[in-house]
């Protein structure tokens, strides 16, 4: 316990009552470490017609890479530009190469080797983080990533454990595929981060809590929680124009996130509790523009409840096929 702050949560050195990514990185690498976003020019199987077209209904045309500097340039130039931006805020930070846009294992292994090997060989990169889909990972690929000289993180999109909502969002994969991919990564020592979105149309509050319970059961090393950003020129925005659906209020979102945190094991790293949407493209909710406000409200709600991550956690085992 942090005696000065009277914080009962063990994985914290400040007022945070959940296991922040900052806390994990400082303890793991010994100093501030920043994820450096990159676009390697991939696509997705639900964009190119392999499984579907149009991509996820909520995803922008840049595949969630809207904040990447020099998006169309070579990877080395992208890395330097985005590292320099991070170092304007944290001058001596380490970098983690974060392949963010689209599905970054959606190619034959020989192609992946050509893209990733230069980053594994750089002395100034602490780890390689790869955003992907569960259905674009197999044992051969995972084994190769596990053989590399630096730590690898696979960031796997789930968004919701509600199969009907996932289908409506054009995810084009199942929760079982997510379970199996996480288990395969764990087998080879690849760290994993699972992405969740709160506020998808059709997801009730109980659905969102059930998604958190699913995450607790399948045990990724980390989790990202953020709200739905309704962005212009997305399939979901077009649906909203024709038939508006309710968007979460700040109060609703804060309450749901705190409920979810209570259900997650203490050792699970919480990479984020809010997210970014490009301001000029954001239809709503408006409050999502203010990340610091959202994070502060979550801190205040946990304190008000005298609660913390894992307070209501109950271990559950999901048998794999």
Shortest CA distance to 21 belongs to which of 178, 308, 222?
222
Rounded distance, CA 253 to CA 247, Å?
10
Residue 20 has a pLDDT of: 96
User: pTM to 2 decimals?
Assistant: 0.92
Instruction: Give alpha helix (H) positions in the chain.
Output: 21-29, 75-89, 109-120, 139-146, 163-168, 175-187, 205-218, 235-242, 250-263, 291-305
Residue 65 has a pLDDT of: 45
Rounded distance, CA 196 to CA 158, Å?
6
- Phi/psi of residue 299, each to 5°? -60, -45
Q: Could you read off the pLDDT tens digit of each residue along the chain, which spans 321 residues? A: 454 468 899 999 888 999 999 999 989 998 889 999 999 999 999 999 999 998 899 987 654 545 555 566 789 989 998 899 999 998 988 899 999 988 999 999 999 999 999 999 998 899 999 999 999 999 999 999 999 999 999 999 999 999 999 999 999 999 999 999 999 999 999 999 999 999 999 999 999 999 999 999 999 999 999 999 999 989 999 999 999 999 999 999 999 999 999 999 999 999 999 987 777 889 999 999 899 999 999 999 999 999 999 999 998 776 555
Residue 71 has a pLDDT of: 60
């Amino acid at each position: 316990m942090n005696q000065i702050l009277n914080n009962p949560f063990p994985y914290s050195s400040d007022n945070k009552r959940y296991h922040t990514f900052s806390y994990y990185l400082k303890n793991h690498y010994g100093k501030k470490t920043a994820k450096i976003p990159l676009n390697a020019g991939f696509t997705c199987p639900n964009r190119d017609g392999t499984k579907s077209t149009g991509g996820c209904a909520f995803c922008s045309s840049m595949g969630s890479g809207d904040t990447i500097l020099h998006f169309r340039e070579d990877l080395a130039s992208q890395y330097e530009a985005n590292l320099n931006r991070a170092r304007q805020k944290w001058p001596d930070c380490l970098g983690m190469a974060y392949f963010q846009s689209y599905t970054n294992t959606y190619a034959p292994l020989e192609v992946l080797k050509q893209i990733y090997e230069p980053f594994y060989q750089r002395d100034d990169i602490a780890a390689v983080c790869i955003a992907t889909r569960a259905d674009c990972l197999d044992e051969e690929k995972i084994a190769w990533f596990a053989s590399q000289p630096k730590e690898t993180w696979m960031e796997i999109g789930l968004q919701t454990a509600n199969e009907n909502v996932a289908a409506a969002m054009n995810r084009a994969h199942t929760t079982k595929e997510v379970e199996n991919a996480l288990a395969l990564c764990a087998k080879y020592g690849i760290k994993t981060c699972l992405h969740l979105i709160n506020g998808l149309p059709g997801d009730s509050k109980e659905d969102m809590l059930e998604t958190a319970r699913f995450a607790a059961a399948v045990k990724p090393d980390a989790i990202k929680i953020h709200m739905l950003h309704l962005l212009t020129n997305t399939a979901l925005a077009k649906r909203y124009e024709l038939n508006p659906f309710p968007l979460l209020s700040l109060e609703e979102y804060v309450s749901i996130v705190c409920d979810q945190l209570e259900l997650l094991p203490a050792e699970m790293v919480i990479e984020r509790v809010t997210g970014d949407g490009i301001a000029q493209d954001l239809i709503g909710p408006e409050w999502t523009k203010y990340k610091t406000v959202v994070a502060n409200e979550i801190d205040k709600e946990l304190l008000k409840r005298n609660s913390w991550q894992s307070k209501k956690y109950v271990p559950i085992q999901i048998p794999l096929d």
